[in-house]
Amino acid sequence: MVQELGNDDAGRYLVNTATGSQYLLDLTARTVQRLMAATAPIVEYLDVAFSPLRRDGESLELLKLESCTVGWPARYWLQIRPDHVVTLRTTSPVMDIVALDPLEA
């Protein structure tokens, strides 16, 4: 399992968060896709309501991966809005990072 990703990394990854959301992260193509409540949340997050976010399920342009480390919230700078105002998306703590490309593991 991968412990940390940086902005200069390449490959495709599945990032699972404490609330049960998953992020399909393609650092080669520079895209990210959020799947809300794709898995069950961990016990500490059972009482947290699911929050739909703008353009959930869509592949969005990843401008910068600020941080993505197991045990800490991930921070993605994304191009979401049609007026090109940049959006910072912060996740709940990352539970694990799974390399989807065998060479990246």
Domain ranges of the chain: 4-104
Residue 91 pLDDT: 92
Asked if the model's pLDDT at residue 51 lies above 90, the reply is no
pLDDT tens-digit series, residues 11-44: 999 999 998 899 999 999 999 999 877 666 565 6
Q: Tell me, what's the pLDDT at 58?
A: 85
Characterize the bridge pairing of strands 60-69 and 4-5. antiparallel
Q: pLDDT, tens digit, for every residue of 52-104?
A: 666 777 899 999 999 999 999 999 999 988 898 999 999 999 999 999 987 65
One-letter amino acid identity for 29? A
- Report the predicted TM-score, pTM, of the whole model to 2 decimal places: 0.83
Q: What are phi and psi of 23, to 5 degrees?
A: -120, 120
CA 44/CA 46 separation, integer angstroms: 6
3-state class of 66 per DSSP?
A: strand
Phi, psi of 102 (to 5 degrees): -55, -30
